[in-house]
Structure 1
């Protein structure tokens, strides 16, 4: 739930609520379960403390409401979301395209590029495209992809084994996780 998804104060529709009061303690804020109280009494307790009554679990029976500073709560939620987004790992997928008849020189160039990407922590998708009657000899393509896998085995692991998708045979290589 984001900050705007919560009902606060007069927006709460239930007659009675399960009330939780947040109190400042020596070791930080602590929550105390007051129990089931009428909505008016809960709103009174919130205004008496100069805080908001926030419905945190509307699907519960009766709904769970918390007495807290809603502005501070929203601020903390946004900070948590930013921190989580910052710590997310974005994995980029690069692609090399080959054909069954790609000569060794051009294959070497593609492998060199793939090795560099894998060392940078990126995944590599190897696409082997069949044209015309080449598709009848898919075993040649599979051997070619096995050769690519063997050549890059020191820096990668096979995430997706070679499989056919239309006229293409695809294999995905992922970098080997650093040993700690």
Structure 2
């Protein structure tokens, strides 16, 4: 029996409505009893996890080296020439060592025959030593007001000088409130006076300037000159020589 066209469309709409109701019930069962944040997290698609540090520190070794030709250095630092990774890996296996790619961006890549565990240890040790030598620059703020009295000004000036002596930068800030914006020249006088009073203890990195309702300047500590090596005079060298002692 052939049904009319309008009846077929009606049946299709009913099936679609039933399917949508089933989907709503299923979604409600998943979200029932959950907070709005939990529902949002369930609906959100989570991107695949990628550890950028692992990608950055990835080092190819042994069979993972994909270049056709590589420049090989042995464990003693001698050049073995350019060869295929298979041949270099064979030499490394004969010496019970690993083939480590130390310069992948070179043409051809540079690989070294060495102990991979020892290489990682030395690399980590050098990275930690480099981090220790890095100096963290701290900016410490000293706040003023247009109505600051002499005692408070001297106290904050001494704080700024102490911060600079410790090797930190100083941010001198002065905030204008309400009608004080009409007297910005007073704020400039206070900050410029601070710069003059600090003198040789600091160098102005940013001159006083306005940002919104705040006037600020940044002062950096002056670099301490390194002590020059003491040159021994000829007489001192003669006195320290073993012949003079004899």
Query: What range is the shorter-chain TM-score in?
Result: 0.7 to 0.9
SS in 1 for 2:136: coil
Structure 1 unmatched ranges of 5 or more: 24-30
- What is the CA RMSD across the aligned residues, in angstroms? 2.2
Q: Look up the match of 2:84.
A: 38
The answer to which structure has the higher helix fraction is: 2
**In terms of Rg, which structure is larger?**
2
User: What is the CA–CA distance in structure 2 between the aligned matches of 1:90 and 1:65, rounded to whole Å?
Assistant: 35
- Once the two structures are superposed, the pairs formed by residues 1-180 of structure 1 within 5 Å of their partners are 4-23=57-76, 31-179=77-225, 180=227
The answer to which structure has the higher strand fraction is: 1
Larger RCO of the pair (alpha carbons < 8 Å, separation 6+): 1
Change (3 A) 1:176 1:7: same
- Provide the TM-score with structure 2 as the length reference: 0.64
SS in 2 for 1:13: coil
Structure 2 unmatched ranges of 5 or more: 1-52, 228-246
- 1:146-170 residue CA offsets vs partner (Å, 9 max, x unmatched): 1111111142222221111111111
- List structure 1 segments (4+ residues) > 4 angstroms apart after TM superposition: 1-4
Change (3 A) 1:59 1:154: closer
- Provide the TM-score with structure 1 as the length reference: 0.85
